[in-house]
A = this chain, B = another copy of it.
Amino acid sequence: MKKTDVAIVGGSAAGLMAAVTLKKRHPEKEVAVIRDVTKTPVPCGIPYIYGTLGAVDKDIIPDNKFLEMGIEIIQQKVVDINRKQKNIIFSNDNTLTYDKLILGTGSKPMVPPMPGVDLGNVFTISKDPIALQQLYTALEAAKKVIVIGGGFIGVEMAEQIAKMGNNADNSIDVTIVEMLPHCLMLACEEEFCLQAEDELRQMGINLLTNSQVKALEGDGKVSSVKLADGKSLPTDLVIIGIGAIANIDLAVKMGLDADPRGGITVNEFMQTSDPDIYAAGDCASKFSLITGKPSGIRLASVACTEGMIAASNIYQTTRKTMGALGAFATKIGNRSIAAAGLTTSAATREEIEVIVGEATTPNRHPGGLPGCVMDMKLKLLFRKDTGVVVGGHVSGSESAADMVNIIAVAIQAGLNAEQLATMQYATHPLLTASPLSYHVMLAAENAALQLG
């Protein structure tokens, strides 16, 4: 009977980060990562398979780096885990005995309960390279594609499918159907959602916002999408990208505390109701770093941090989660958009009164220098009661993600407007705004003025 010190079920962000963290801290321990797919795709890179990269194989996390660290990668489907015997049972009846276990079983795409979701050419975004290839092949034959859901995954898929059509000189008509008034509304400030929508429209993508899908229709294969307002949109292919739910199937089977909305219940050490078992990533329960309330944020960045924390605590309890922050970035057309923490509308919902400090200024100085985005904008949200930063939103150049990470660190360190306004920042004509108006300093100073 095969055995290992630490078994990790799931080979994506949380699982791989946990394995690396363990091997760095305890190189003498055996670590096995178990996955049911042949290869692990770069999860956030999946949309780019279809346009920019042009092949599923170009979006794979190579195993060699992990194998070189002495991590074992087992390709098997786990059917059950006997917690008493500490025994993992695979679909081929083989077993693996563990001393400690980390569950990184991820999430499952949400599928709305409506007629027609089982029709042919209806896809969700899976993390299985075989399924991703099936979608690739189907898209190559499609002329009209409808993406249901205008969140990050929906918008990025739509953008890349439009690009796929252009690459093949065989333009694909792409439509996004979104329930809310704008795309990306849950993560981004409304003004930046509008900018993203402009970029999508410039790429020829049709946007149907404030629109709900009622049914998918077709004979074997989907041929039209029926909206709640009665309209029917002809289509060759449908992608459902409306979110993900924690994959708790295995945890429930094992008798661990878990609930379908929140995920596998974990404490702040990422430990489940069984002290030898940890969970991390999309499958694990979360709370918001800002409000302390249960959180539905499922991101690779959160999964990595949780995987690191879980692995760090397995042999000695050293690290606690601060809660999920929600730090995002994307690039739509020529515009990069990034966010960390609360949006103004989320702050209103949470009844947190905020002061907003803004800075819109060219990201080069003088503005005539190459790479200048004249209207690069940073928006910072500070609690009115404490002055502490709770949100940051950037729209502009490709350094938007790194800039928002200045704010992500500031949120996690509990810094306030006064501190961010009076700190010193590196600037350079070819790389940033002028030191007179570096975005973080200027937006914080504008908020500090209002906070008094």
Contacts and interface: CB of A to CB of B under 8 A. Distances in A.
Interface string A279-321: 0000000000100000000011111110011000000000100
A181 interface: no
A25 interface: yes
A328 interface: yes
A428 interface: yes
Nearest to A324: B424
Contact of A435 (B13, B330, B366, B368): B13
B431 A331 contact: yes
Interface size classification for chain A: 35 or more
B440 A53 contact: no
Interface stretch (A195-203, A223-231, A344-352, A404-412): A404-412
B402 A365 contact: no
B300 A445 contact: no
Given A409-B420, A431-B336, A301 B398 contact: no
A164 B325 CA distance: 47
Nearest to A419: B413
A424 B305 contact: yes
Contacts of A366: 42, 45, 53, 58-61
B24 A449 contact: yes
A160 to B, nearest CB: 11
B430 A404 contact: no
A1 interface: no
Contacts of A303: 435
14 contacts: A20-B436, A21-B445, A25-B449, A44-B427, A53-B369, A58-B368, A60-B366, A61-B436, A302-B424, A304-B436, A330-B428, A398-B431, A405-B406, A408-B424
